Amino acid sequence: MKIRAIELHNVRRFTDPVRIDNFGDGLNVLCEANEFGKSTIFDSLHAVFFTKSGSTAKDIKALRPHSGGAVSIGVEVETSGEVFTIRKRWFSKAETKVFQGATLIAQADAAEDWISRLLGQDGTGPAGLVWVRQGLTDLGTGAKDSLEARRDLMSSVSEEVELMTGGRRMDAALKRCEEDLAVLATAGGKARAGGPWKAAEDRVAELSERRNALQTSADQLAEALRDRTAARKRLASLNDPDEAEARKVKLAGAKTAFKAATEFAADLEGLQRKADLAKLTHQQAAEKCERVKAAVAEHEDAKRLVLDAVDKASSAEAKFEDALEADDAAKSAVDIAAAATTKAATDLRRAERAASAKESAARREEIEARIKAAEDARIKVETTAAAITGPDAKALQNVEDLARNVANTIAIRDASAPNIVAHYDGGTAFNIDGQDIENGKLIPISRNTRITVPGIGSLDIRPPESGNADQVAKAEAALRVALEALGAETIEETRARAALRQNAEVAHREAKASFNALAPSGIDAIRAQLAKLPEPEEADGAPDLEAATQALEAAQTTEKELRAKAETTRHQLGEATNERGVAQANLNNANDRLARALAALPEGGADQDALQAEAEKARRTWLTLDEECTAKAANAPDLEMAKASYTRLQSADEMIAKDIAALEGQILVLNERIKHASGDAVEEELAETAQELEVAETKLRHIVREVAVLQRLKAALTGARTEARDRYFTPVAKELRPLLNLLWPEAELEWSEDNLLPTSLKRETVAEDLSILSGGTQEQIALLVRLAFARMLSNAGRSAPVILDDALVFTDDDRIERMFDALHRQASDIQIIVLTCRQRAFRNLGGQMVTQSPAQFIA
């Protein structure tokens, strides 16, 4: 659909008919100053499409001029290549008409339906047009209710939204579902307090409790009835006259039997006492007879025992005496042997001391000899030490070295000196400084030398000065100094003295070794050993050590043997002593027993026969009475049984009387209880409560079922809405992206999960809530969103004119140019109508200018 012309008559300032036309397919602009009536045009379009002619709503009243009268608006639209004119009139003679050319094709409600179909929806909201009112940029971030805000945003595209997300119908269904669910359950799925579910639960609980209580009461009543029946039956049995009489007869019989048995038992007891007395008499006589007989026998035995004991005591005494004597002899022998042993030991100690003194004297002599030798050695050490004089080996070596040096320097000097060799043919020899020259010997001449030829004269040889004469002189001087230091004149003397010193040192070392061997710790240590030795003792008269040792061993052996013998005699003495004691004690005992036996004999003698006869008589009396007892007891009634039977019947009689009283009392109590319970009609109430409980449980099951159904439906609705929204916003976002990028490269909008409104603008990963953005940015986003919707509808074959009434009031010059680009971009296949008063700012918008002209309005 595209708008081709608008006619207004008696609409606010347009009291005269006016026509605005020249609307093209793309971008159309009506740019006029304020007060021209642009918003009136905008509102008029809105009224034509969305407000029925019968309406007197506030928005329609606002269209009337001050002078009043009917408001008339006409709009020419082109759809599917055909042009139609919609004319509407409000207030006086309200009407709606649709013409095709001059032909009226619909009027009144039919015309309204035609408009609805034109808008592509069923009249439940605007569609097919995208509106942006003056200054309407609120995207739901302000104070408006979010749903209402969504309506503002979606009002132009609600049909499409309806199609895709369910829109208002979805809202209505979900709201109904949530409302129905909320009546029953909380958000957490629990029974809501005060709601039917909770009431049903409470009702079931209450009835269950009441049913249980009533059941208990009913059970108690049933039990009471059973108890009473049983009690009555028992009472009837107890009160039965025949049974009572039978019990009475039984009791009397038992009593008689018990009495007879008691009397018989008394008679029997008297007879038994007599028998017992006779038995006792017999026993006493027999015992007396036995006692006398035993006393006589005992007296005889005691006498025999005394005699025997006397013999044994005498024998033991004799044996004791013998043993005592032997023991004394043995002890004396031991004493003598012990004295001999003591003496032998003393002799041995004397012999040992004598031997020790002898050994000590030899030791002293030896030590004294060592001391003397050590003294001699010490003197020799001192003497040899004093003999060590003369050059030592080192000094000798030094002189030897100096001497070799002199010889060397002389040899060097002589090597360069002239030599002479004497050759003799016998006769006189030549000499130099009085010393003969050997025949044939090469004699160097290094200095002025006079060779004397005895007899002939002398021959002076004056060799030239040699360069080595000074080294020789120096060497010889050094040698002389060394010799002088040693007190020698020649090297030979030095060697001799050195040899003497070496011998003296050897003698000294030998003397020291000898001394050390004799007294390694010194002479004083040896003297100390000597001092420790005991003083010599006089050993004259001491026995020989070996003889003394043998004498002691012999004495000890003798003593040991005698002591063993003495031990034997002592043991024998002990045994004899004990035997004597035992024999004496036995004798005493025998005397005592004899005395007692004598005392036990009856005075005046013991007539055993008389006693025997008396005992026999008593025995016969006893046996007679005992036989009588046995015979009577054999016929005795069972007293215990008679007593038990009587006691039992007596007790049972008393118990029955008590039972009767108790049962009567119990029945009275039960009567009251039954009367009370049956008066309450517990069974009746129980049945009623059980039925009510069944109904309540059924109702609760239904409610639980209802909750499950509603929860399932709610989940299905919300899940489907999410799915549809995703499906729906994909194309919107696709259309929106290039438009947003005209202003902000890579920018994206984020959308609310709840109300389908944009919530924030995301630029370079930073998301900003729309509410904090500038007014200009907000209105730009609002416009771009609508343009995206419009393109999406157009793509869906539902071309939707976009009508903007001063939609960019906060946008700056830079952004507005890019918004113009956005408008042109979308205008390629969408009709856009821009109403603005900003002539300068919109100068560069371009597009087709619409025109206004007076009109011949057909009302």
Partner 1 sequence: MSFRFIHSSDLHIGRKFANIPQDADGNIRGRLMEARHNAIEKLAAAARDNGAGHVLLAGDTFDTPTPSPSLVRQALAAMGDASDVTWWIIPGNHDNLRGAEPLWDMIASDGPANVRAVTEAAPIEVETNVYLLPCPVQYRASGTDPTEALVRMETPEGALRIGLAHGGITDFTESGEVIAVDRDRTARLDYLALGDWHGRIAVSPRVHYSGSPEQDRYKHGRRGLCLLVEAHAGAEPEVTEIETGHFLWQEVPMDLVSGQNPTEELERLLPASGRRNVLLRVRATGWAGLADHAELERAVIKAGPEFACFDLRAEALRARYDPTDLDEIDSSGGALRITAEALMTEAGDDTLSEDDRSIAAEALARLYSYVKEDAQ
**Span near partner 1 by CB under 8 A; candidates 104-112, 305-313, 545-553, 720-728:** 720-728
Q: Which of 357, 361, 461, 720 touches partner 1 (CB under 8 A)? A: 720
Residue 697: what residue type?
Answer: E
| 181 binds partner 1, rule: CB under 8 A | no
* CB of 207 vs partner 1, minimal distance in Å: 9
Closest CA to 217 of 697, 669, 664, 684: 684
| 793 binds partner 1, rule: CB under 8 A | no
Q: Which of 154, 191, 482, 686 touches partner 1 (CB under 8 A)? A: 686
Q: Which of 6, 11, 170, 184 touches partner 1 (CB under 8 A)? A: 170
Whether residue 670 contacts residue 228, with contact meaning beta carbons closer than 8 Å, is answered with yes
| 721 binds partner 1, rule: CB under 8 A | yes
SS3 content of the chain, % helix, strand, coil (to 5): 65, 10, 25
**Span near partner 1 by CB under 8 A; candidates 185-193, 536-544, 641-649, 686-694:** 686-694
What SS3 state is found at 458? Answer: strand
Within 8 A by CB and 6+ apart from 78, the residues are 1, 2, 4, 84
| 675 binds partner 1, rule: CB under 8 A | yes
CA dihedral 166, 168, 174, 176 (to 10 degrees): -140
**Span near partner 1 by CB under 8 A; candidates 508-516, 679-687, 787-795, 802-810:** 679-687
Total of chain residues touching partner 1, rule CB under 8 A = 52
Q: Which of 683, 748, 750, 817 touches partner 1 (CB under 8 A)? A: 683
| 663 binds partner 1, rule: CB under 8 A | no
Distance CA 84, CA 375 (A): 172
| 689 binds partner 1, rule: CB under 8 A | yes
**Span near partner 1 by CB under 8 A; candidates 75-83, 390-398, 493-501, 670-678:** 670-678
Pair type for strands 27-31 and 832-836: parallel
- Tally of residues, the chain: 859
* CB of 252 vs partner 1, minimal distance in Å: 38
Whether residue 475 contacts residue 409, with contact meaning beta carbons closer than 8 Å, is answered with yes
- Looking at beta carbons only, is 674 or 802 nearer to partner 1? 674
| 674 binds partner 1, rule: CB under 8 A | yes
Closest CA to 825 of 814, 817, 835: 817
Within 8 A by CB and 6+ apart from 571, the residues are none
- Looking at beta carbons only, is 578 or 722 nearer to partner 1? 722
Residue 6: what residue type?
Answer: I
**Span near partner 1 by CB under 8 A; candidates 547-555, 680-688, 789-797, 826-834:** 680-688
Whether residue 89 contacts residue 95, with contact meaning beta carbons closer than 8 Å, is answered with yes
| 115 binds partner 1, rule: CB under 8 A | no
| 164 binds partner 1, rule: CB under 8 A | yes
Site string for partner 1, 200-239 (x = CB under 8 A): ------------------x--xx--xx-xx----------
Encode 63-128 in three state secondary structure.
Answer: CCCCCCCCEEEEEEEEECCEEEEEEEEECCCCEEEEEECCEEEEEHHHHHHHHHHHHCCCCCCCEC
Q: Which of 437, 618, 677, 732 touches partner 1 (CB under 8 A)? A: 677
Within 8 A by CB and 6+ apart from 440, the residues are 421, 422, 423
Q: Which of 92, 212, 490, 691 touches partner 1 (CB under 8 A)? A: 691
Return the number of other C-beta atoms located less than 10 Å from residue 788's C-beta: 25
**Span near partner 1 by CB under 8 A; candidates 5-13, 78-86, 619-627, 687-695:** 687-695
| 145 binds partner 1, rule: CB under 8 A | no
Q: Which of 373, 713, 773, 809 touches partner 1 (CB under 8 A)? A: 713
Taking each helix axis from N to C terminus, what angle separates 813-827 and 775-795, rounded to the nearest 10 degrees?
10
| 169 binds partner 1, rule: CB under 8 A | yes
What SS3 state is found at 711? Answer: helix
- Looking at beta carbons only, is 165 or 446 nearer to partner 1? 165
| 716 binds partner 1, rule: CB under 8 A | yes
Q: Which of 83, 173, 345, 600 touches partner 1 (CB under 8 A)? A: 173
Whether residue 781 contacts residue 733, with contact meaning beta carbons closer than 8 Å, is answered with no
- Looking at beta carbons only, is 474 or 701 nearer to partner 1? 701
* CB of 702 vs partner 1, minimal distance in Å: 11
Structure-block tokens of residue 271: 């007879």
- Looking at beta carbons only, is 226 or 509 nearer to partner 1? 226
Type and span of the H or E element at 227: helix 196-238
User: In the complex, which residues of this chain contact partner 1 (CB under 8 A)?
Assistant: 162-167, 169-170, 172-173, 176-177, 218, 221-222, 225-226, 228-229, 674-675, 677-684, 686-692, 694-695, 705, 708-710, 712-713, 716-717, 719-721, 723-725
